[in-house]
Amino acid sequence: MRKTKLIATLAATVIVLAVAGAGAGAVPASSPGARAGGETRGVTDDVIRVGGLGYSAFYADSAIGVQARFARAETEDEIPGGRTIEFVGFRDDGSDQGQNLEEGRALVLEDEVFAAVPVMTPFLGAADFFAEEKVPFFGWGIAAGFCENPYGFGWSGCLTPPEPEITSNFWGKAMAEYLGGAEGKTAAVIAEDNDSGSAGVDVISAAAEDAGFEVVYAENPVPPEPAEVGDYTPFANAILDEEPDVVFLVTSFSRVTELSNKLLELGYEGELTNAVGYDPRLVAQFTGSTVFIQFSPYESAEDGNEVMAQLIEDVEAIDPEVQLTQPVATGYFAADMFIEALKKTGKNLTVKRFVKAANKGFRWGLPDTAGPTRFPKGHTRPTPCGSLVKSDGTGYTIEVPFSCGKVIDIE
């Protein structure tokens, strides 16, 4: 089996991003984004060149999803003008904002890509540069650079605003459905002691309250990684004192694990839910917990989800031993969105025509699987859809099938 690294610290960011609302960070586009003579960078009569950017330790598998979707597009002759898509590779930003900018510059100036696909990082230092160079980028919108940026296209919309004013209510809605209703039930929300944790408490609390839960604890006292936490007892006791029916754990993977274990050790009998535990390599560690994800789980293929079955088939054609992780699926979705934008643009492909098509009444979605996300609204709003799964120690069961909630205000 091909080895891949476990999702760890950045998972905390993904949690907050998965539920956040609109954001900021718009930048002007000023440079031509094309070679001399009017030829569009990265486009020939035969090929469209793209490349990926992100943190390889956690998101490198997204490149497999991208290549899988591009391979099917070539087989089925989907790209207007008979072109194929050349994927030049996935550049690693090392989880560093400055390195992300440098690798983004290299992707454009050295690799001469038409678009960045997939972009998978919470530290998108290259966002302004992409806009200045008129380089569209597609990915999982877990960075503020996707928000209010006409060149950034997140398949689940804008997820990472610095100061969220709106959010998706889906996680709260799904937990209420799972529990048979939220009336008379209480919830606790706990996060890490940083800006992401503070925002996470706000957006999850809003989602829980919108679903009908009374939020009796909403704090972010946990030291963020890489700080060492010698004893989780004080954090667990603060929650237990409120006797909540459900605990929303809005922290990194290791913090979710330790807090869950401590709560269970101290006798907690309610529901534990998180947004990081959906991974075949993590299933045993989250036995009994529910996990919120933003798309229909891989398991839905067994229940007749033809879109997910096709995704799995496409991915396994690229790598038969691949682990079916969230990055694999999210890379596939980014590639599919890019292909749909190409189709809307037509065979006369220029940056100007492409961005205009993608920002005017463009709707992307995969039936019963992901989306729908609409642009230009997707530059400022999240897509409030997802699923809730539960670990039984060896696999996942679908507790709330893929559906959509709504975008709500954070009061």
Give the tens place of pLDDT for each residue, 354-405: 999 999 999 999 999 999 999 999 999 999 999 999 999 999 999 999 999 9
Q: What is the pLDDT of residue 38?
A: 53
Q: What is the pLDDT of residue 35?
A: 55
Q: Please provide the DSSP assignment of 171-219 as one string.
A: HHHHHHHHTT--TT-EEEEEEESSHHHHHHHHHHHHHHHHHT-EEEEEE
Q: What number is the average pLDDT over the span 68-74?
A: 98
20 pLDDT tier (thresholds 50, 70, 90) = very low
Give the tens place of pLDDT for each residue, 286-300: 999 999 999 999 999
Give alpha helix (H) positions in 241-290: 253-265
CB-CB contact of 375 with 359 (8 Å): yes
Give the tens place of pLDDT for each residue, 298-327: 999 999 999 999 999 999 999 999 999 999
Tokens representing residue 25 in the block: 């960070």
CB-CB contact of 364 with 372 (8 Å): yes
Give the tens place of pLDDT for each residue, 22-39: 333 333 333 445 554 457
Q: What is the pLDDT of residue 9?
A: 39
Of the two residues 7 and 115, the one the predictor is more confident about is: 115
State the Cα–Cα distance between residues 195 and 202, nearest whole angstrom: 11
Give the tens place of pLDDT for each residue, 191-221: 999 887 888 899 999 999 999 999 999 999 9
Tokens representing residue 190 in the block: 């706990």
Q: Which residues contact 278 (CB under 8 A, 6 or more apart)?
A: 291, 293, 297, 326, 389, 396
Query: Which of helix, strand or coil describes residue 365?
Result: strand
Q: What number is the average pLDDT over the span 269-285?
A: 94
The radius of gyration computed from the CA coordinates of the chain, to the nearest angstrom, equals 21
Give the tens place of pLDDT for each residue, 156-185: 999 877 678 999 999 999 999 999 999 999
Of the two residues 254 and 19, the one the predictor is more confident about is: 254
Give the tens place of pLDDT for each residue, 5-16: 444 434 444 544
Domains of the chain with CATH codes: 10-163+303-383 (3.40.50.2300), 168-298+388-409 (3.40.50.2300)
Give whole-number Cα distances, 323 to 5, 150, 264, in Å: 11, 33, 29
Percentage of the chain beyond pLDDT 90 is: 82
Instruction: Flag whether the pTM goes above 0.85.
Output: yes
Q: How many CB atoms lie within 10 A of CB 59?
A: 32
Residue 209 C-beta-side C-alpha neighbours within 13 Å: 16
Q: What number is the average pLDDT over the span 45-70?
A: 96
Q: Is the CA virtual torsion 240, 243, 249, 251 positive or negative?
A: negative
Instruction: Evaluate if residue 72 carries a pLDDT over 60.
Output: yes
CB-CB contact of 140 with 156 (8 Å): yes
Give the tens place of pLDDT for each residue, 97-112: 999 999 999 999 999 9
